[in-house]
Structure 1
Amino acid sequence: MQTVVGVAVVRDGLVLAAYRPDGGWEFPGGKVEPGETDEQAAVREIREELDLEIKVGDSLGPGVDISADYRLHVYLATAVAGDPVLREHSELRWFAPSELDENDWLEPDRPFVRALRKQL
């Protein structure tokens, strides 16, 4: 099973989310390449997708199966340089913790939204 990393990027108490045209908010990220750790993949994916530099922190819980082939792991991260650039999604938004309604998120991301709310 291949690992996909999502990244809950936090800056000034707000969480960055990306909107997928096919139906909901998600934590940006992507596939872990062979030879990469989850953390290395998170840094690379956020740099490629958003032109943002991050420092990866703790996992937000156990992985969630997306399909028979992919498992999602989401990590907390701090934005350390840059401003996010919209490249692969239809919208980017910074959410306050009180605005994080898991029903607006893609199904695999929802348990991580709950975990994130408890930590912020």
Structure 2
Amino acid sequence: MSAVEHAPGRQPVEVAVGVLIDREGRFLLTSRPDGKVYAGYWEFPGGKLEAGETVEQALRRELHEELGITIGAAHPWKIEMFDYPHALVRLHFCKVYDWSGEFEMRERQSMAWQALPVSVQPVLPGTVPVLRWFAEERGFDGPTHAA
């Protein structure tokens, strides 16, 4: 698995990812539900763009479907290509500071508000770069997660 190199000829899957940040600066991680690839791994919530959707539209739909919340503005942050054995994905990370509604784990996943270093494990490989970006932004020096 690599964040940079990927097999030629594979079409990337476009994925909108929500980096929800609360008033204390913590960020939300959710576990991948049973039956999905990497079940039990922790990640930032989101999902695939459907035909004709923008990143923000997909993020609104996915977070409502998965978590039962309605988000305010999605602030585009970073884009990272990640090559998993099952799919090449282009992850569109957006910071979200405002949402409404009660969190409902509609896919029977778990959720956890985290700070660095994160206490949940295992962390999905595509999530690790985001933890490093947070460390850089916040001046955090040390491991971001358990290996």
Specify the TM-score bucket, using the shorter chain as the normaliser: 0.7 to 0.9
**Cα contact 2:17–2:47 (8 A) shared by 1:** yes
Identity over aligned pairs, percent:
32
What value does the CA root-mean-square deviation take over the aligned residues?
2.3
- Gap regions ≥5 residues in structure 1: none
Aligned to 1:119: 137
CA offset digits 1:29-81 (Å, max 9, x no partner): 11001111111111111111111122211323433334544322222112321
Deviates more, 1:63-72 or 1:106-115: 63-72
Count of residues paired in the alignment: 119
Of structures 1 and 2, the larger Rg is shown by 2
CA offset digits 1:60-108 (Å, max 9, x no partner): 3433334544322222112321221111143111113x23369741011
1:18 to 30, 35, 43: 30
Q: Which amino acid is 2:64 matched to? A: R
**Cα contact 1:58–1:76 (8 A) shared by 2:** yes
Structure 2 distance, partners of 1:105, 1:91, is 13
Q: Which structure carries more strand by proportion?
A: 1
Structure 2 distance, partners of 1:118, 1:102, is 20
Q: What pairs up with 1:74-93 in 2 under 5 angstroms?
A: 74-93=93-112
Matched, 1:51 2:72: no
Q: Which structure carries more helix by proportion?
A: 1
**Cα contact 1:58–1:75 (8 A) shared by 2:** yes
Residues 51 and 68 of structure 1, relative CA distance in 2, 3 Å threshold: closer
